[in-house]
Structure 1
Amino acid sequence: MRDFIYLASQSPRRSQLLDQIGVAHQLLLAGPEEDAESLESVRGAEAPGRYVARVTGLKLDAAVERLKRQGLPAAPVLCADTTVCLGRDILGKPADEADAVRILKRLAGQSHRVLTAVAVQKGKQRVDAVSESWVRFAPMTAAQIKAYVATGEPLGKAGAYGVQGRAAAHIEQIRGSYSGIMGLPLFETAALLRSLGVRC
């Protein structure tokens, strides 16, 4: 079998992005006994860049442990985490539709940052990077926000939107990494994987 990596993420978009650069991968997902969501809690007034790098490191620690516990064949393990922030405020995944409306009202007509951290471990070696991008939403009416939230797309997504989905109709400008905003910055990811000897 040719080289492959483990992707410790439930995001179908991250899997598609790895396919895009020709990286064979298998999913290494948290079981019900692991409290994966608790890893994403914010500590006090933590800076967004520090937060996203720390959470990604914790996810990778848990994934490496999972690999050992399950006795799976050795291969590099990749984790990523994306956070949306307005100033220093971290806008996580909405709790429900009302929360999604609240978040989108804040983003409408504003520029915000999207930070995606990637970390890969192979044996004892660990490499990581953080991609920073900027997204500007056009002003949105209450009816537009409500209609978008009704699609269900904002739920489960940092910042209550998916750049590759219907939110694109409201995004005026993007600076940085489109794939990073989707959840896996391909330039940085490929560089990290190559540094560990994985072909992209």
Structure 2
Amino acid sequence: MVFSHVLHIASNSASRKRLLEQAHIPFVVIEQDADELQVDQTQELSQVVMQIAQLKMVHAKFPAGQTEGQLLFVLTADTLGLTLNGRILYKPVDRADAISMLQESRLGTRTITGFYLQKLVWQNNNWVVDQEVVDYEDSTSVFDVADEFLDFYLDTIPFLSVSGAISIEGIGGQFLKSVNGSYESIIGLPMFKIRKALFEFGFYAK
């Protein structure tokens, strides 16, 4: 497969960057400064993550176009988890909070990643949306870190920067009991849907 463009992703997530690298999709990171608290968190989780992804797109720092008709592909995304008891898994505030989240997650979690992909065209010194898609992937998993392994696990990951203190990659993989849905979406990007949309948008050379 030959790539004729570069994807601009408005995310500093190491996991999302790793997924794109593993998929051999060329990309560059751009900044965004959205305030996610502007989105009503009491809505259905799928609506929350899609609206946050859309808000990130509004606040993304697009590079200036160089030539008339130039194309730009931009991706934003947001991931949230929910325990079976209905607790939204934000990033833990401290170690005790992380332990509480991990213990509750043993029963299973629902993880939803929303994404927003735009194809833009540089026209009259402005980026104009040519094609766009907003979608989400809904998956469930069981992440089971027994009490005997909690300190070992938390000592080896940056748990304060991970939603729900759940990291299913690397050392955390040994605690991932089951997945129903998209493994990549739980990590941070529903790669099948994104790859399909990129193809339909003409991201790949024909």
Q: 2:144 aligns with which of 138, 145, 168?
A: 138
- What is the letter of the counterpart of residue 71 of structure 1? A
CA separation in 1, counterparts of 2:158 and 2:41?
Answer: 29
Whichever structure has more strand as a proportion of its residues is: 2
Equivalent residues in 2 for 1:102-141, closer than 5 Å: 102-108=100-106, 110-123=107-120, 124=129, 125-138=131-144, 140-141=146-147
CA separation in 1, counterparts of 2:87 and 2:15?
Answer: 25
Q: 1:16 aligns with which of 9, 15, 18?
A: 18
- What is the letter of the counterpart of residue 26 of structure 1? V
Question: CA separation of 1:138/1:101 partners in 2, compared to 1, >3 Å: closer, same or farther?
Answer: closer
Q: Aligned-pair distance for 1:173?
A: 0.8
Equivalent residues in 2 for 1:76-95, closer than 5 Å: 76-87=73-84, 88-95=86-93
Q: Aligned-pair distance for 1:41?
A: 6.3
Structure 2 stretches of 5 or more lacking a match? 121-128
Provide, for residues 92-136 of structure 1, a one-character-per-residue CA deviation record: whole Å limited to 9, x for no partner. Answer: 11122222112112112x111111111111121321221111111
CA separation in 2, counterparts of 1:155 and 1:41?
Answer: 22
Question: CA separation of 1:152/1:97 partners in 2, compared to 1, >3 Å: closer, same or farther?
Answer: farther
Cα RMSD, aligned residues only: 2.2
Question: CA separation of 1:149/1:118 partners in 2, compared to 1, >3 Å: closer, same or farther?
Answer: same
Q: Percent identity?
A: 27
Q: Aligned-pair distance for 1:53?
A: 1.0
Q: How many residues align?
A: 189
CA separation in 1, counterparts of 2:160 and 2:46?
Answer: 23
Q: TM-score, normalised by structure 2?
A: 0.82
- What is the letter of the counterpart of residue 49 of structure 1? S
Structure 1 stretches of 5 or more lacking a match? none
CA separation in 2, counterparts of 1:95 and 1:103?
Answer: 11
Alignment match, 1:175: 180
CA separation in 2, counterparts of 1:191 and 1:126?
Answer: 13
The worse-fitting range, judged by mean Cα deviation, of 87-96 and 117-126 is: 87-96
1:163 aligns to 2:174 (yes or no): no
- What is the letter of the counterpart of residue 92 of structure 1? Y
Question: CA separation of 1:139/1:11 partners in 2, compared to 1, >3 Å: closer, same or farther?
Answer: closer
Q: Aligned-pair distance for 1:170?
A: 1.8
Question: CA separation of 1:21/1:6 partners in 2, compared to 1, >3 Å: closer, same or farther?
Answer: same
Alignment match, 2:124: none
- What is the letter of the counterpart of residue 162 of structure 2? K
Contact kept in structure 1, 2:4 and 2:203, CA below 8 Å: no
Contact kept in structure 1, 2:39 and 2:51, CA below 8 Å: no
